[in-house]
Structure 1
């Protein structure tokens, strides 16, 4: 389909690609991954011909139909409706429709056989191209991407950049190309639209190449992972999770080869040094020196996912209640967002605020952050709460003439320059990078600087609006590690599901104009949500959510009253807690045993130890589930 052979592409003196190779076959669904600046978007531009290779070739069939989504499409302007813009994908059908309309007009005065034959031919071709269904298909895809019927009639120029990008995506999907090249397609989508796009791409019959930092999205679509690194392209025959496992295995082998080779080199060098002065061994020494020079050196493994250690020092902890929302209502003209709703953010909460765009996530976040005062009800900050609000507009608030280090020195004067350089190092700004001017940074680099600023603030409460936008996977991983080490409270809006699943212990969502809470991780919320039923009352006025189905509760036998049953179950709970403590200790001991070299280097020992560990871990997890079930029963009895 597309063959990339010995591709070299240079920018100035830097080779972004150096004799790289990749063959894209029909049916391939490939994720193109790599650090920011590794050349992923550039490679897509090379494929479509926007850039020319320095050397090497990119070959494909002349009639290959390519659909290419890139961020440059944001500049597309039109005063026509978004339905009309999306239907521009049907170039031949639109041309035929226009010609048919012209012929029908002529037919009012000219009944000649020539006109009738032309009309018949055009209509047959139009029908063969499914022309009568193109408007329905356009409606269907625009609806999947989050546009209502009324919005589809609005001019493109009235929408924000993110929504315009959705229209461009719709137009490309409607073209049904042979291959889709998608550069960060989820950047401007909310979670429902991302899930819709996943389903669409899973059934897409052509080839797909996706550049994305959303690992959940990649895992659900791709069957190959291509890593752009060190000017080469390396293909892994599986999705992103497979790539992580396979790369880890390859790196382990490479690391062992490197260590063995280094040991051999040192041995040879010692031997050379020992016999260098002996004339009788001169020939042997020279032979060894030449052999060392000819040896093909194995590189040590680079750590692409460094572990970071943040030191968060807020001067005072907050009280138990961080933010209390009481009877909050918020409306815009013709749009009600919140209606008489209440909620509490407690100390230690790590809340993910999720939902479709337009449902009020950003509005609620601004109310929580005191950035929006125009609402009914109360938003009450708790005792000793100090807050930092991170949003994308803060990238524009960076001082362009400052260096990175000066930006942080001015913002956080209580920190020493050494401390600030350490924090910047965690965000991948090392050495002389810290002296770069803000104005020369990419969008992703500016995001990392703004996040570093937010995390240096003396704040025990963080409000984070889309912090993962413009970040590559390594940077997202760093932010996850930072938030794991943060002992304060935070609420975050993001469409990156992996990120949310890693950092959140509570989920907030807006339903029926009310704030609803799920007490668990994002993955647990997804499982619960998929089983959940939302019913409408007969009047159709309000939806009622069927709560998470609980196991049937044990009823007290006739001879045992409620208080005695509660006492018995509390004793059972205490016994379970003791068992959990012992089981957890056992699991940790087995983990330590697995880490011993004499175990992991001996296959039979490792197999037996792994079997014992898995059994102990399963028992530990079962005890935890039994505890949760029993605790819920006690709470219901006490309530």
Structure 2
């Protein structure tokens, strides 16, 4: 056992966060800590980290336990050092040894004493034991996994925005490899490729991991336990988030049945007491029944859980069939090309998710669709289109002197104050919170107000840039429900895979400056990507069995070439035309095999070049190599498809 929380109680002023709660953390745990916003999840992590002391109970840890805590407070860190240097501070002991080795090396130039040589040897041995020779490579590997380019590694930490700084600090924590790694909303700062990299990394992590996250997909793939902080208690579940939902529903049903049975028993006993308490012959029994009821451990009624208020979008006008057309659009920021001679069309009823890595131009494309971003090419708006755009940069459009409720009233939706307060409750503004001034709100709170304003607009076309940031799971589900009933169209940018899977009927991706459209859901897109990746793999080479039908007809497999037509039955007439056709197909098949082999060699050579860090120092050479690589991939996919089609023809002709 690494950590044991035993019957702990902790109060924040007059508010109780946990009461008589217990939790044991053991090696190999992958725990998802969940609960509504404001229940105290981050506070509980700080208790584990030793920042807060409990008023009752005990927090016990094994000796020399190391804890890594990833949280928003880390942003107070400032330095002009490179991000590679910041990441390498995870190897503090090895870095100190490296300095000692450099010092001793200089001393040995003038003074080669036996004691100094022994010290030098000991330091080298310790440095090697700490894997000091690989610390630079390991740091670069983790930083690049989290989305940084090789060229970024030497840039000063202070040049990066808050989200990118958090990635650097996450890399540092990962490299420290603490016994317990606590991650408070790590996916808020990551794009999809980085989230997928983190998932793969954490799956092999040796220590225990505790994750606070509103990303259901991330929890489903990462955790083997769920701890729910609810009504000052810790409720423990085995399995991932999906298992938790099923188990919780089962527990609620059992509790409700137990409650109903107990209530029926109480009613029977009360009727007995009421009837016989005044009767001398039954008074003793009635008295005993009263004592039993007093000592009864009452089962609580199942609460309704977090409120799920239904929110409906009102669409004022029905737009034309086409909402927006982009033609031959190009967009550059200095030397960086985001979009290049690309186009797209958004039709009525489209619910598009724009996904991909950060820096690919997703938010830029949203602004181009909205008509607020200058670009080359044509943007043709549709008829009767009323657009509402939600994005982080829109927050400054809020009226800073308005109260929250007043801000929503100013949107002119015609909704009653009760309806507006109900909506604000979904966005975690309850009671007197609705009378707070916009100016005193945090960035996350302003974002929630702006999203609420978007929902009550009467627009028939929504542009939503990361709408689920700063929302808890209940609010995300409320937004999913609302978008499911929305009669208009929308384009959204989100890294929340569950949200995308529940809301999109088309997927857009920006690849090499082009908008690539997939008509289907996120799950279908993922499956298609897997098939594409599998198709790009080279076919298994024949093992010297060409022309032989070794071990029976194996035509259904690509492990051996299908040019093994069965000999005609004895005495059967030979169809010379069919035989010629079969021979022609076999020659074509052989040519395709040779082409695939050449393409595989070219692909491997380009991958080796792209894996060389020196390439990224020459911008033009990198772009040319990347373009050549993409061309080879396309040619390989096309040739592989021809190969499979020809394979089927050969089998059918046999």
Q: Measure, in 1, the Cα distance between the counterparts of 2:103 and 2:139.
A: 24
Aligned to 1:334: 335
Aligned to 2:552: none
Distance 1:437 1:18, change over 3 A: farther
Higher Rg of the two aligned structures: 2
Distance 1:392 1:268, change over 3 A: farther
- Say if 1:443 and 1:470, in contact at 8 Å, map to a contact too: no
Distance 1:402 1:268, change over 3 A: farther
Aligned to 1:214: 215
Aligned to 2:470: 470
Aligned to 2:620: none
Q: How does 1:110-149 map to 2 (within 5 A)?
A: 110-149=111-150
Q: How does 1:6-405 map to 2 (within 5 A)?
A: 6-274=7-275, 282-304=283-305, 306-372=307-373, 374-399=374-399, 402-405=402-405
SS in 1 for 2:90: coil
The number of equivalent residue pairs is: 554
SS in 2 for 1:150: helix
Q: Measure, in 2, the Cα distance between the counterparts of 1:393 and 1:128.
A: 49
The worse-fitting range, judged by mean Cα deviation, of 529-538 and 408-417 is 529-538
Q: Measure, in 2, the Cα distance between the counterparts of 1:330 and 1:385.
A: 24
**How big is the shift at 1:424?**
3.0
The worse-fitting range, judged by mean Cα deviation, of 320-329 and 532-541 is 532-541
- Say if 1:447 and 1:471, in contact at 8 Å, map to a contact too: no
Please list the CA deviations of residues 542-570 of structure 1 after superposition, one character each: whole Å capped at 9, or x if unmatched: 635558979979x9xxxxxxxxxxxxxxx
Q: How does 1:432-581 map to 2 (within 5 A)?
A: 434-435=434-435, 438=438, 445-533=445-533, 540=625, 541=627, 543=630, 545=634, 546=637
Q: Measure, in 1, the Cα distance between the counterparts of 2:223 and 2:316.
A: 47
The worse-fitting range, judged by mean Cα deviation, of 259-268 and 44-53 is 259-268
Q: Measure, in 2, the Cα distance between the counterparts of 1:256 and 1:435.
A: 41
Q: Measure, in 2, the Cα distance between the counterparts of 1:482 and 1:264.
A: 43
Please list the CA deviations of residues 338-367 of structure 1 after superposition, one character each: whole Å capped at 9, or x if unmatched: 011110111111110000001111111111
- Say if 1:405 and 1:435, in contact at 8 Å, map to a contact too: yes
Distance 1:422 1:60, change over 3 A: closer
Q: Measure, in 2, the Cα distance between the counterparts of 1:231 and 1:135.
A: 45
- Say if 2:413 and 2:457, in contact at 8 Å, map to a contact too: no
The worse-fitting range, judged by mean Cα deviation, of 300-309 and 360-369 is 300-309
**How big is the shift at 1:436?**
5.0
Distance 1:59 1:396, change over 3 A: farther
**How big is the shift at 1:335?**
0.2
Distance 1:349 1:276, change over 3 A: farther
Please list the CA deviations of residues 297-320 of structure 1 after superposition, one character each: whole Å capped at 9, or x if unmatched: 222222335443223222211111
- Say if 2:427 and 2:471, in contact at 8 Å, map to a contact too: no
- Say if 2:413 and 2:456, in contact at 8 Å, map to a contact too: no
**How big is the shift at 1:263?**
2.9
SS in 2 for 1:187: helix
Distance 1:296 1:120, change over 3 A: same
**How big is the shift at 1:370?**
2.0
Question: TM-score with structure 2 length normalisation?
Answer: 0.80
SS in 2 for 1:325: strand
Q: Measure, in 2, the Cα distance between the counterparts of 1:162 and 1:487.
A: 34
**How big is the shift at 1:252?**
1.0
Q: Measure, in 2, the Cα distance between the counterparts of 1:235 and 1:253.
A: 16
Uncovered stretches (5+) of structure 1, i.e. residues with no partner:
556-639
- Say if 1:390 and 1:464, in contact at 8 Å, map to a contact too: yes
Distance 1:416 1:459, change over 3 A: same
Distance 1:428 1:485, change over 3 A: farther
**How big is the shift at 1:503?**
0.6
**How big is the shift at 1:125?**
0.9
SS in 1 for 2:385: coil
Q: Measure, in 1, the Cα distance between the counterparts of 2:263 and 2:22.
A: 30
- Say if 1:224 and 1:237, in contact at 8 Å, map to a contact too: yes
**How big is the shift at 1:440?**
6.7
**How big is the shift at 1:445?**
4.8
**How big is the shift at 1:270?**
4.3
- Say if 1:182 and 1:209, in contact at 8 Å, map to a contact too: yes
Aligned to 1:418: 418
- Say if 2:315 and 2:487, in contact at 8 Å, map to a contact too: no
**How big is the shift at 1:295?**
2.3
**How big is the shift at 1:230?**
1.1
Q: Measure, in 2, the Cα distance between the counterparts of 1:274 and 1:443.
A: 63
Question: TM-score with structure 1 length normalisation?
Answer: 0.82
**How big is the shift at 1:431?**
5.3
- Say if 1:219 and 1:239, in contact at 8 Å, map to a contact too: yes
Q: Measure, in 2, the Cα distance between the counterparts of 1:88 and 1:386.
A: 52
**How big is the shift at 1:469?**
0.8
The worse-fitting range, judged by mean Cα deviation, of 142-151 and 112-121 is 112-121
**How big is the shift at 1:417?**
1.7
- Say if 1:427 and 1:478, in contact at 8 Å, map to a contact too: no
- Say if 1:17 and 1:232, in contact at 8 Å, map to a contact too: yes
**How big is the shift at 1:483?**
0.8
- Say if 2:309 and 2:422, in contact at 8 Å, map to a contact too: no
Distance 1:125 1:425, change over 3 A: closer
Q: Measure, in 2, the Cα distance between the counterparts of 1:143 and 1:77.
A: 21
Q: Measure, in 1, the Cα distance between the counterparts of 2:328 and 2:319.
A: 23
Q: Measure, in 2, the Cα distance between the counterparts of 1:329 and 1:54.
A: 61
Distance 1:549 1:191, change over 3 A: farther
Uncovered stretches (5+) of structure 2, i.e. residues with no partner:
537-598, 607-623, 649-654
**How big is the shift at 1:103?**
0.8
Q: Measure, in 2, the Cα distance between the counterparts of 1:263 and 1:436.
A: 47
- Say if 1:463 and 1:492, in contact at 8 Å, map to a contact too: yes
